[in-house]
Chains A and B, each alone.
Chain A
Amino acid sequence: MKRLTPYLLILPGGLWLAIFLVVPMVFMASVSTQEGDTVNGFVQTFNFSIFGDVLTQYQTQFLRSVGYGLAGTAIAIALAYPVAYWIAFKGGRRKSTYLLLVLLPFFVSFVLRTVSWKFLLADDGMVLGPLKSAGLLPADFHVLQTTVAVIGGLVYNYLPFMILPIYVALERVDPRVIEAAQDLYASRRGAFTKVVLPLSLPGVFAGVLMTFVPMTSDYVNASLLGGPANTMIGNIIQTAYLQNNDYPTAAALSFMLMAAMLIGIFAYARALGTENVLEAAAR
């Protein structure tokens, strides 16, 4: 019995993974190699050339999604780190209040929050309108339907997923370590770069995992805030599934996106130390 215990403990999680990750992936792989249409039906033809075809056809959108994901993640780190640092070290007794403020937007639906940006940033809206009439901006200046708007929307929507893990990592840094560094004649800057930053890196790694993946596969921001040149791979998959009923193309794209992500994540975890990353992500 004792030998079985670890397996029994892993069973719920294992089943979860099997049912919600492995089975759909296998199913998707199967659909992706079928050919046909909804009226005449789909037949399994093991048409593996579809992967090459969709990759060539949608190369631009793939690269764009990865680019947006990377840019969004970098901006999110730059914004999240100071916020997390401030809450962890200067937050005092109000720490939990500040964390609540970070999480507060999550009480409103993701889509509604994104739609609100359309009203805030309208060409003659409450932000740009006055600036334009004051002559500070040219009349044809606009933010909506630009790359800036899409990446901005991504950063806005996923920022808390970056703040929280960094905060958790910083929170666990013992202030006495910093005092010790200063006792050993480290400057404030030295104490930060040599002591605090390395100790908080697992949090940053975890944050990258939690923001890069959803940002890259996001399609809501591109469809609500983007213009003709901002289509992401998620929008293509959605069109292929729901409008074209072209399940093989959609499945091939989804499968390749997931595979690319998984490979990327494993390479990243491997390069930066799995234990650190998983530990920080699990906290």
Chain B
Amino acid sequence: MHYRTNPALLRGMTQSRSVTRRDALRLAGLSAAGLALSACGVQGQKVAPPKQDAVAAYWASKKKNGTLRFANWPLYIDKDGKRYPSLEMFTADTGIQVSYQEAIQDNGTFFGKAQPLLAANNDIGYDLMVMTNGLHLGKAIDLGYLVPLDHSKLPNFAANAAPKVKNPTWDPNNTYTIPWTIGLTGIAYNPKYVDEVKSMQDLWNPKYKGKVGMMLDAQEIGNFGMFALGIDPDKSTEADWKKAGEKLQQQRDAGLVRKYYENDYVDALARGDIWITMAWSGDIFQQVAEGKDLRFVVPEEGATIWTDNMCIPKTAQNPVDALTLMDYVYQPKIATMLVEYINYITPVPATKDLVLADAAKASGDDKKALEQIANSPMIYPSESDMAKLRSYKALNAAEEKVFKGIFQPITQG
């Protein structure tokens, strides 16, 4: 296995996952993008939920075409030079050629580009795409942009996916999506300055005045405000949001928060500008893998788990091929190849033993890296961690407005 160089930097520079994780380098094109978005912003038509026979009706006439266009995020598939070993195996086993594009930098921009095409029923150029559960995926489902999945063609998913990833609240019964990979939002700290962190309350600890990093994303920060008050974000109400907003405002008013970060908190943490911060698990894993001394914890009150999901746009030209790949990656052998590269949580728990088996065969740095992966609570969270994980609440348009109205003024004072 070739361990790639400096993945954290590449990922930090190129990859943003949640709604607000924009890439600073793309800010320059903003006004143009704003206009383009506003130009397409006047459409919108909510559709009725799919009928009972929608799955059968959609799939009845679809055939395998032997080709597939896959849009994914940067550094989100195993890569050996210019080759993608798992996709090559897929082609060898199924005869389907894959055109793989690292086309998605963040949900908002990708959805913004695809939306007008989907609204007009035009091909978006991809048959399979990966979107994070959250506001944009919610909109894609509400607007009827996704194909309902034929679960009779997903036996590997049924057999090998972790129970925790099945039937998520944002997509009951995995009607439209199945996970590609999963991550946590928890707390990271720099042990040079901070002894030990166990609780959300440490983000409110006056000892760390001016050294606390929080996230800019309304949903991420709102969730943490709720956790700190012992509220489950997934089951929260407007009254809970207001209480959480007050809690977060206190934190800000006390001068604890150094900054509300997008994806640049990792560098700030490593440099010592902040000592303790909200963080995404994969970011910290990669820093640790590079030898930085940082820690990631799932606080005792809980943490959020988010999922990047595979889904098929309704204008897909090769939906059968897309569905074939969705199931193919749920074979433990293939999922292992993916997790060894991606370093986020895999939806296939059986991979842990296979990674350990690979480690036993490997030597030197590769062996160490593989053991680190198999033993990391950031990639294979423990049962007790898993029990503490909560999902994002699925917000409809009206709720989103209220929710953001509560949490955004805190970060944008």
Which chain A residues have a beta carbon within 8 Å of chain B's beta carbons? 24, 27-28, 31, 34, 36-42, 60-61, 109-112, 115, 118-119, 122-125, 140, 142, 144-145, 219-220, 223-224, 226-229, 231, 235-239, 241-247, 250-251, 254
Contact = CB atoms under 8 A, between A and B. Distances in A.
A86 to B, nearest CB: 32
* Residue among A39, A227, A251 having the largest count of chain B Cβ atoms under 10 Å: A39
A162 B385 CA distance: 56
B44 A36 contact: yes
Contacts of A251: 38
B35 interface: yes
A212 B214 CA distance: 31
Interface string B7-32: 00000000000011010110110100
Contacts of B142: 39
Contacts of B296: none
Interface in B251-269: 252, 257-260, 262, 264, 267-268
Interface stretch (B78-86, B229-237, B334-342, B404-412): B404-412
B412 A242 contact: no
A243 B20 contact: yes
Interface in B379-413: 396-398, 400-401, 404, 408, 411-413
A45 B96 CA distance: 50
B109 A245 contact: no
B155 interface: no
Contacts of A239: 20, 408, 412
B358 to A, nearest CB: 37
Contacts of B400: 37, 244
B98 interface: no
Q: Nearest 4 CB-CB pairs, A to B?
A: A41-B44, A122-B271, A241-B34, A37-B397
Given A39-B44, A111-B24, A228 B259 contact: yes
A110 to B, nearest CB: 7
Given A39-B46, A238-B30, 8 more contacts: A42-B44, A118-B264, A123-B272, A223-B24, A224-B264, A239-B408, A241-B33, A243-B108
Nearest to A44: B42
B24 A247 contact: no
Nearest to B401: A37
B271 A27 contact: no
B45 interface: yes
Contacts of B377: none
Given A40-B397, A42-B42, A224 B260 contact: no
13 contacts: A28-B38, A39-B46, A41-B43, A110-B28, A118-B268, A125-B271, A142-B273, A223-B262, A228-B257, A228-B411, A228-B413, A243-B108, A245-B37
Nearest to A250: B34
A147 to B, nearest CB: 13
Given A39-B143, A41-B43, A250 B38 contact: yes
B271 A123 contact: yes
B271 to A, nearest CB: 4
B267 A118 contact: yes
Nearest to A41: B44
B210 interface: yes
Given A122-B273, A238-B27, A38 B44 contact: yes
A223 B264 CA distance: 10
B41 interface: yes
A112 B413 CA distance: 26
Nearest to A238: B30
B37 A228 contact: no
Given A39-B142, A228-B413, A111 B46 contact: no
Contacts of A34: 42
A246 to B, nearest CB: 8
B367 interface: no
B24 A242 contact: no
A186 to B, nearest CB: 48
A180 B24 CA distance: 54
B219 to A, nearest CB: 10
